[in-house]
Structure 1
Amino acid sequence: MDFWEFSCISLGAAVVLYYGVKLILFSRILFPKLFFPLPKSFFTSMGEWAVVTGASEGIGRAYAFALAERGMNVVIISRTKEKLDIVAKEIAKTTGRKVKVLVADFTKADAVNCIEDELKDMNIGVLVNNVAILTNPAPTKFLASKNLYQDIFNTITCNVKTMAKMCKVILPGMVDRGKGVIINISSGVTCVPLPLYVLYSGTKIFVERFSQALQIEYKDKGIIIQVVAPFSVSTRMSYYQKTNCFVLSPEGFVNTSLQYLRAGERINGTILHTLVDWFMRIVPHNMLTSDSMQTNLEEYVNKFVQTQNLQ
């Protein structure tokens, strides 16, 4: 066997071994209860309270209910008190847990400062940074936004600054107690460049990199920091699409994603969303971002909105 033949065989074996290991690791998501078990007392062992931003509806509301069902008292935060009060009554009635309502508009620069005193000295074991805005739900080119300066300010303030500031408020207590969970909600669209949603996707990339780096800094303190990057979930932001095997209800998505809390620093939350993420990463980006794909996306969303009378 000459050198080149040996080199080719070695390279081939290394590639097979690499993808074999990845396949084995990937197969674990099929059996989360086996590979990533969580004891029933896991969440309550983290602390007495869970804090959820953007909790008046959608994914945030679902997290608040799920954590209350797992024995935690919850602080729910959003900008609409009437909606929060309804959610608080439903949680208290169905779970028997305490619910604290805080009103904050996270597009305002001082929103976190205004609620920081309310969270001080609370034994907070879980933080879910869910709140986010998509200023133009319909596909829109960057310069086509009617109020671009305000959109830039609102999106970065809500999606980026709020998330980082909430971590700054809650993380010190977790470090002192040597335990805690922070779940930051990103989006599956961060796996590729996303024209027509550049502000939203750009801020969600920040959420991912920030969360992953923060986990590296504090994992030895007994703290789990995980970024969750879903694709389609039936919420107001996605025009309440009908649920199916790919488009999950907020409740279904949250209950599934919580099973993967020990699965790593970044998850998609469901098996199918993980497969979509993998597929989009291996497809050449120029195919997904071509002019024809952008045109098709615009036509699809606009047609869907018209069909559902959502305009």
Structure 2
Amino acid sequence: MEVEWDALRVLGAVTALFLLLWATWAVGSTVYIYLLPQARRSNHWLRAHGAWAVVTGATSGIGKAYAHELARRGLNVVLISRDLSKLKHEAKEIEGLYGKRTRVIQVDFTGGLEIYETIEAGLKGLEVGVLVNNVGQKYTPRLSKLLDCEDTAKKLQDIINCNMVSVAQVSQGIIINISSVADRRPYPYLAVYAATKAFVRSFSVAVGVEYRSKGVTVQTVSPFLVETNMTYPMKKGLLVVSSEDFARQALDTLGLTSETTGCLSHAVQDFLLTMLLPSWFFISPRGFFLLESCNVAGFLSQRT
């Protein structure tokens, strides 16, 4: 009996030590990435990769915020989206606010591979140092089961083209792929969206390793709730950050980590979610029942 008790004590001590080391690493890396201004890369470092930044989905939300923040840090910006009037408006605003040059390219990323000839022509002659792959979409505004949406086949193809094919274009310099917290685990009611974001994360990490020796920096940004059209009507608050604050904090992490939630608030939420709601819970009968109840009640509409 004494031997068995000793074995259990050793196991408990090892487990406690592991958890302590894990927590210490998590806290230490969080402080380094988000709370030490002296560790951050300078704007000169950012501009040294090239004079131009390219941002997809640049007319609203996170993409718009990245475009403005990159211009504020001294880069010229190429804005890519499907709405020409919004593109021209954002370009004029950036030029007026920051005195930087802009260029607009109108494409619809659900259009497949054909659009990349247009993009390549629009970027000809530019020294592009930063690429922000932000464009993305869900197949319904609300959370819903896969086959409940209309014209399922077309919507699946659109979301794959928009969320996956758009990031599979490797360039040089710095590549920032905007993913989602949904890239971490399966999410019922967001099956395809979560799967495409899991692709974004896996693809980004692998390509980052493959091209690291070539001087290519690939960063995956996996935010929680940001105040955008996709999360409307949620407003900035305790758990929700504005797109402007998010882009500023996320760019501060560039060069410090290849994977980030983007800001301190989301890093804390990620830690708590991992501790309190393990991945198996979301696909367990009780977890699915809770999710289904919240969705029916309307608590999860227009959220990701």
Q: TM-score by structure 1 length?
A: 0.86
> In the alignment, which of 275, 278, 287 is matched to residue 281 of structure 2?
287
Q: What is the CA distance between 1:12 and its match in structure 2?
A: 5.1
| Contact 2:63–2:134 under 8 Å retained in 1 | yes
Alpha-carbon separation, structure 1, partners of 2:293 and 2:12: 44
Contact 2:188 2:288 in 1 (8 A): no
The residue type paired with residue 207 of structure 2 is L
Structure 2 Cα separation of the partners of residues 257 and 121 of structure 1: 28
Counterpart Cα distance in 2 of 1:288 and 1:116: 41
Match of residue 61 from structure 1: 64
1:224 CA displacement = 1.6
Residues 160-239 of structure 1: pairs in structure 2 closer than 5 A: 160-165=164-169, 167=170, 171=171, 174=172, 180-239=173-232
SS at match of 2:241: coil
- Contact between 2:188 and 2:282, CA under 8 Å: does it hold in 1? no
Show CA shifts across 1:136-194 (max 9, x none). Answer: 120110111111000110000111011113x2xxx1xx3xxxxx211000001222211
C-alpha distance in structure 1 between counterparts of 2:89 and 2:29, whole Å: 42
Check conservation: 2:54, 2:130, Cα contact below 8 A.
yes
Aligned residues: 293
Partner of 1:308: none
Task: Give the corresponding residue for 1:96.
Answer: 99
CA contact (8 A) 1:138 1:302 kept: no
Give the conservation status (yes or no) of the 8 Å contact 2:56–2:81: yes
8 Å CA contact 2:34, 2:263 repeated in 1:
no
AA matched with 2:269: V
Alignment gaps of 5+ in structure 1: 175-179, 306-311
**Cα deviation, residue 22, structure 1:** 3.7
| Match of residue 74 from structure 2 | 71
RMSD (Å) for aligned C-alpha atoms: 2.4
Match for residue 83 of structure 1 among 54, 64, 86: 86
Q: Kindly, what percent of the aligned residue pairs are identical?
A: 33
The aligned residue for residue 297 of structure 1 is 294
Q: Which amino acid aligns with 2:75?
A: M
Matched, 1:124 2:121: no
Distance in structure 1 (CA, Å) of the matches to 2:235 and 2:9: 55
| TM-superposed deviation, 1:304 | 6.2
Of the three residues 44, 48, 51, the one matched with 2:51 is 48
In 2: Cα distance, 1:26 partner to 1:249 partner: 20
Q: Secondary structure at the match of 1:230?
A: coil
After TM superposition, list the pairs within 5 Å mapping 1:231-250 onto structure 2.
Answer: 231-250=224-243
For 2:156 and 2:212, the matched residues in 1 are separated by: 33
The question of whether the paired residues in 2 share the 8 Å contact of 1:139 and 1:301 is answered with: no
User: Gapped runs of 5+ residues in structure 2?
Assistant: none
> What TM-score does the superposition give when structure 2 sets the normalisation length?
0.88
What amino acid is aligned across from residue 142 of structure 2 in structure 1? A
